[in-house]
Structure 1
Amino acid sequence: MITIVPTLDCNFKCIYCYESNCKDRYYMTRDTAEHIIKYIDTFTPNGGMLRITWFGGEPTLALKLIYYISDAVSDILLRKNASYFSMIVTNGYLLDKKAALRLRSYGVEEACITIDGCAESHDIRRPLKSGKETFDTIIKNIIDISDIMNVCIRYSVDRDNMEEFSKFLDILEETNIKEKIRIEIIRIEAYSYSDSIVKNRELSTCEFSKVYPELVKQVIERKIKIDFLPTQNRTSCSALLSNHVVIAPRGELHKCIYTVWNSAESFGRVDKFSKLNENLVKWMNASPTDNQDCKNCKVLPICVGGCLRSMVINDTVFNDSEDRCIQHKYNIEKLIKLKYIQSIFEK
């Protein structure tokens, strides 16, 4: 599993984004891309499985580089008879039909697009750097690409926009795309440098766990796809996977997407890869069983300790009061009941 960050630059100015703390707007070079291609060739076994996630910053600002790497990856997959899955996590503003067709031709099957409420709320929270609104363009793009690639709409919830969720579902029904997309509901997290307005809007994990089942129920009743129960092949944190690596724009290797702006946390470079590194060891040695609360928790088998980053790094990017527990600790029984209701609606 590889997450590639072609740039930390972004065309949005989101009010809460952790990446606003990063001043590096560097774009990955063709030379670094070549090293990534060699890395993928080296570590993809014959008949194996390769999974690539394109992340940012905003990855659609570097589409030419994505196309270049993806083209080379296609040759590797053919030569090694390997399986492949690829997705892109994007704000959706530049992901128009033309871009989607090109990405799909290279095996990028899914786009995960973030929405923060209906137009008025979303455009305040997620405007372009110029201040221009983005909601209408994103919805148009979702409509245009939903027949080309799988679309996951990641609806971000806080105290102020959770009441808009039903209205947002109305929009999906009015545009006739509800059967072509799936919904993921997440909570907006404030960071240590976020302003007081953002922090006051934030729902704690426990608070979110109370709101979440009702939001899921609304999605089920509209017969829109949603996955809301953890499964055996998932973890709450990709950094927990021994075969997962994040490659930053300058070719630095990381375990966590939230450290790519901090070179001190990398465990090597894609052109000078070493299997043993002090930073890598601290990530791989982190264990939830070192924490007594985790050790005694009923959801440990599906959580595996939650956010690994909060276990191994002490810094001020996240709030001091960050709760790394997953919401299932508080609402798993309600969600199991909703799964039964969903099975009835799907008949």
Structure 2
Amino acid sequence: MKASQYNFIFNDIIENTDKTVLYNSRTGALAVLEPEYYKQFCELTNNGLAINNDTYLKNLIECGYIVEDNMNEKAYVKVNLLKNRFESSNLMLTIAPTMACNFRCVYCFEKDQYHNKTMSEETAQSIVNFVKTNASKLDTLNVTWYGGEPLIAMKQIVRISEDFLEICKENNIQYTASVITNGYLLNKEKVQTLISCGVNDIQVTVDGPKEVHDLRRPLVSGRGTFDVIMNNLKQIKGMIKIFMRINTDQDNWLNLHEIVGFLKENSLLENVIPYLGLVTPTNGKYEGTKCLTDEMYSKFNLKFMSENDIPISYIYPAPKGNYCSADKYNSFVIDPLGHLYKCWSDIGIIEQCVGIINEDTSVKWNTELLGCYLLYDPTEDEKCSDCKYLPVCLGGCPHNRMADFNICEQYRYNLQEYITECTKVLLAGQLTENKKEVSESC
């Protein structure tokens, strides 16, 4: 047997101890070894000496730290990627029932797409028919309500959700749904309605304390929005899981700890899970000079999580099946007119449309653009092929890659620091698996 090509070995990250930490990016395994066990591991991988402890040997194999001599791990990563990318029993839809928005956020990449139109009954029915046509092949249906501000179009959310729930019931399909909202309209009544529509969790964006947030995320009129959002969160406390995205750049990163302090003071932190989102110059709609570099963001993100006691499991460097919904075959973003996109950063840009749902549920595909999203192979890419971070990165954000932006994941810049923090939690018996995929939307 041989050592995995995706092993990372850290000998000096646990203070006042001579223990060794092993991390494997292909399996996501994390282990702390006593000196004698690490010695045996080295003797096996360097000199071919056998390990006589069957339990220890079994654990090393199961965790992927050692593999058969003839195993091609990169091929395994590729097969796993293709299996997940083209798996078709799970349909993922991100639906914008309107592109209208009551906010005018300073960094918004949808500024040119705002209009007051909401989804027509004909388009809503076409989407329902599309799901109904594919229902016999589905095990799960996952829906994210998006915008614009989706809560402006509650009527369309309710109407489509009722049909989705009925289709899933008839075909024994597991249904999950979430909402991405600015939080201004998120009162108790709407949350009760959303829960009845099968919504499991909600993402709200708050960009720091009141004086910072109100400058960055005002109403169309210019009036602040922080107080209304916070009052809404207090009103709906305990009703549903809330993820709070904090969009981060050089204008607000020094004030972000204050919003966590506010959540604690108002007993909201037990129901609201804050996390940082990196503001990028998406589609050229924001000054790139204000954005943090990926390296700066990586270091600050870990510092923010650690200092504010936010579960480190949310940023554990776990291996991916595919990068995101954009490079997944059976996943689409749908605008109010029925246009299909692969990435929600493209919504409303007709040139980036990969198809449109017609009333008869047939779709005329833009196969060239689909291919750009679905046929990229990081295992054959010159920059990515032999990278040890490949299983947790898979070539990085497809949208950034196609726009010639940096595609390396944050772990590349300070993996040791991430593993150090995760090891502390592991040793404290607190590290648990996190299965929630955090939205990368604004």
Q: Summarize deviations over 1:224-282 as a string: whole Å, max 9, x none.
A: 68611243456543211121111111101111111121112222211232577333233
Q: What is the CA–CA distance in structure 1 between the aligned matches of 2:156 and 2:178, rounded to whole Å?
A: 15
Residue of structure 2 aligned with 1:338, choices 421, 427, 431:
421
1:25 and 1:333, CA in 2 relative to 1: closer, same or farther beyond 3 A? farther
Equivalence for 2:73: none
Taking structure 2 as the reference length, what is the TM-score of the superposition?
Answer: 0.71
Equivalence for 1:317: none
1:324 offset after TM fit, Å?
2.6
CA contact (8 A) 1:3 1:53 kept: yes
Which segment drifts farther, 72-81 or 328-337?
328-337
Which segment drifts farther, 298-307 or 273-282?
273-282
CA contact (8 A) 1:115 1:154 kept: yes
CA contact (8 A) 2:280 2:291 kept: yes
1:49 and 1:249, CA in 2 relative to 1: closer, same or farther beyond 3 A? same
Q: What is the CA–CA distance in structure 2 between the aligned matches of 1:41 and 1:157, rounded to whole Å?
A: 40
Q: Does residue 294 of structure 2 align to residue 185 of structure 1?
A: no
**Secondary structure at the counterpart of residue 175 of structure 2:** strand
CA contact (8 A) 2:312 2:421 kept: no
CA contact (8 A) 1:182 1:226 kept: no
**Secondary structure at the counterpart of residue 45 of structure 1:** helix
Q: Does residue 339 of structure 2 align to residue 247 of structure 1?
A: no
1:176 offset after TM fit, Å?
0.6
Q: Does residue 365 of structure 2 align to residue 303 of structure 1?
A: no
Residue of structure 1 aligned with 2:183, choices 81, 89, 92:
92
Equivalence for 2:32: none
Q: What is the CA–CA distance in structure 2 between the aligned matches of 1:226 and 1:6, rounded to whole Å?
A: 33
CA contact (8 A) 1:237 1:306 kept: no
Unaligned runs of 5+ in 1: 315-319
Taking structure 1 as the reference length, what is the TM-score of the superposition?
Answer: 0.89
Q: Does residue 354 of structure 2 align to residue 267 of structure 1?
A: yes
Q: Summarize deviations over 1:179-211 as a string: whole Å, max 9, x none.
A: 11212212222346556xx54331011111121
Q: Which has the larger radius of gyration?
A: 2
Q: What is the CA–CA distance in structure 2 between the aligned matches of 1:169 and 1:234, rounded to whole Å?
A: 32
1:82 offset after TM fit, Å?
1.1
CA contact (8 A) 1:8 1:56 kept: yes
1:250 and 1:230, CA in 2 relative to 1: closer, same or farther beyond 3 A? farther
CA contact (8 A) 2:305 2:311 kept: no
CA contact (8 A) 1:204 1:323 kept: no
1:278 and 1:241, CA in 2 relative to 1: closer, same or farther beyond 3 A? same
Q: Does residue 307 of structure 2 align to residue 218 of structure 1?
A: yes
1:290 offset after TM fit, Å?
5.0
Equivalent position amino acid for 1:67 in 2: V
CA RMSD of aligned residues (A): 2.3
Equivalence for 1:294: 384
Q: What is the CA–CA distance in structure 1 between the aligned matches of 2:394 and 2:116, rounded to whole Å?
A: 34
Give identity over the alignment, percent: 31
Q: Does residue 379 of structure 2 align to residue 277 of structure 1?
A: no
1:47 offset after TM fit, Å?
6.7
Equivalence for 2:266: 175
1:224 and 1:136, CA in 2 relative to 1: closer, same or farther beyond 3 A? farther
1:46 and 1:239, CA in 2 relative to 1: closer, same or farther beyond 3 A? closer
Q: Summarize deviations over 1:42-85 as a string: whole Å, max 9, x none.
A: 22336711100111111111111001100111111110111111
Equivalent position amino acid for 1:281 in 2: G
**Secondary structure at the counterpart of residue 65 of structure 1:** helix
**Secondary structure at the counterpart of residue 164 of structure 1:** coil
1:289 offset after TM fit, Å?
4.0
Equivalent position amino acid for 1:341 in 2: K
Equivalent position amino acid for 2:126 in 1: H
Residue of structure 1 aligned with 2:106, choices 4, 9, 15:
15
1:120 offset after TM fit, Å?
0.5
Q: Does residue 194 of structure 2 align to residue 107 of structure 1?
A: no
